[in-house]
Amino acid sequence: MEINEQNLEALSTYLRKTLSANADERLEAEKTLKQIERNENYTSLLLTLCERSTTPDEIRLASVITFKNFIKRNWPSLDQSNSISIRDRNHIKEHIIGLMTRSPEHIQEQLSDAITVIGKCDFPDQWSTLLDTMIKQFQQQTSNSFQSINGVLKTAHSLFERYRYEQKSEELWLEIKLVLDKFAPAFTELFKSLMVYYPQKESDPIEMKNIFNSLLIIIKIFYDLNAQELPEHFEDNITIYMTHFLTLLSYDNLNLHSKNNDPGILDQVKTEICRAVALYADNYSDEFKPYAQEFALAIWSLLTRLNLSSSYDELISTAMKFLSTLAARSHHCSMFVGDDTLKIVCEQVILPNLFLRETDVEEFEDNPEEYIRKDIEKSDSATRRRAACDFLQALCVFFESQVVAIYSQYIDIMQKEYLQNPIKNWHEKFLIDYPNGYMTRKQFISMYKSLFPKGDAERFARHIFRAFDLDNSHTIDFHEFLIGLSLTSATNSIKTKLEWTFNVFDIDGNGLLTRRECLEVIDAIVRCYLSTQGNTQNSNNEQIINQAKKSMMNIFDNISHTSVDKLTRSQFVEGCSKDQFISHLLAPTTNTVLINTHDTNDNHSND
């Protein structure tokens, strides 16, 4: 395919049809593009359409996305029948960097993705000019060139990021050395020039955001190039980088803050600085030691100025990870020596980030099982609460007794605050556990199963649930829950507790108890209570259960010296009160019901 107007117009038409709402037309256009993509110059035609300012924006975007996807599918292929020609490959590598730097941001992002794919396959052996091309862009920096600089920096970061995690090898180190020898000097000069330039542009919000976007990617690349080992170039220039990092950590500009819950560009820059200096503190502690104290103070100060907004979450988490690294290292921990220092860190840095925020509660309510799983597995590593916990554990490596003493005071204070208004705190806990404001039968039974894991708690809980559910709504709200707890409290009179227990036995809710209802409920209660005493396999179980049933039937047989088949509430309370065994079972004077064979041998007044 020749690069001419006719072919460009035809390609533009096919691309326009791929955006059609008509499915048949769209599919036909995609099929045609698939057929012609093997022709030589196909990628050049796409890039030409992408570069032309006269091309409608939707066609420019369609062409660059088509190009990117074609590169992803075909560039890494070793199949000669399915690969891009050598001529087209060379043409793309020769022009794509320049095209990216001249393109608007939304086009630039797509081209950068394509460059990343090409670079991972061809750099450095088959794309030896890449570094020189990128360096040339740095050296051509002008006041209007940040768009192109950012494009180059993004490309560099996408190529170098794998140095963070790739296993060490001779081949990898040779590549990194090549990058350092060629790229690092120009890279450092660019960083220095930006640090001189941004104070001159503080009154220009747009330019400041462009500059700090560049600084953000520069710091990410700094981490990339230092991840494997400390390069000689960065060791030689460590003072330059650390001095400027400290400057940026303390810098503030309202125009660089976020206006929503996403982190602002300045906060992102500070986050990456914390990540980079944590790398140095952990891996290159001897070289970093002269700067550790200054960074610790700067980051303490930063953390005390940040509020609970989620926009600061990553910054706070990363900053505390840096402090954790210092606290757990014998050669850095001395900066935490002194009760005042520890108290300030514990009070102003750790403690505020340990409490649940509204967003944490919402996350728990959305998926409590997932929230708890992450907490148990410590897979919530990016959260400020996890970072605060890790920092606290790190401090305990060398300062456990002091830290325990400090937090013991806060625990005592919080316990006293809780006791000042326990009902309010119960309600808050109830809403955390049951966000809808009520407990279902299934949830109530689940709670009882956790209290009586060895017994038949489900059967017991179904009867108890009925007594708690005062309005027969098949749910228990906090008011009903509180009433139930209050009426069954050990501090209440036996009569009060037995009056409430009548509702447990009244299965059909008609206000009268039959012998059958009482036998069913007393059997469920005794079996469940026996399990709490570890008596599930005791040979005396049936004896105890039968004695309880016999005692209940005695109430029917002897109430008012006559035999009845149904008991009213007052008769139930009167009969149970006279039977020591039943009274002790249904209305205990302590919060724990104890049943043993001695109870069954007591003299019952109704026997």
In terms of Cβ atoms closer than 10 Å to its own Cβ (0-12, 13-18, 19+), residue 145 is: middle
% of residues, the chain, pLDDT over 70:
92
Structure confidence at residue 16 (pLDDT):
94
Q: Is the pLDDT of residue 104 over 90?
A: no
Give the residue extent of every domain in the chain.
Answer: 237-420, 433-600
Higher pLDDT, 236 or 413: 236
Reference 234, options 183, 198, 275, 195; nearest CA is 183
Q: Report how far residue 222's alpha carbon sits from residue 179's, in angstroms, rounded to the nearest whole number.
A: 12
* Residue 296 binned pLDDT confidence (cut-offs 50, 70, 90): very high
Alpha helices in 349-383 (DSSP H): 358-366, 368-377
To the nearest whole number, what is the mean pLDDT of the chain?
86
% of residues, the chain, pLDDT over 90:
48
Query: Does the domain at residues 433-600 carry the CATH identifier 1.10.238.10?
Result: yes
Structure confidence at residue 141 (pLDDT):
57
Higher pLDDT, 83 or 363: 363
Structure confidence at residue 361 (pLDDT):
77
pLDDT tens-digit profile of 590-604? 544 434 433 444 444
pLDDT tens-digit profile of 447-489? 888 777 766 778 888 899 988 988 889 999 888 888 888 777 7
What is the pairing mode between strands 438-440 and 475-477?
Answer: antiparallel
SS3 content of the chain, % helix, strand, coil (to 5): 75, 0, 25
Given a contact cutoff of 8 angstroms between Cβ atoms, the answer to whether 444 and 434 are in contact is: no
HSE-CB at 55 with a 13 A cutoff on CA atoms is: 26
* Residue 82 binned pLDDT confidence (cut-offs 50, 70, 90): low
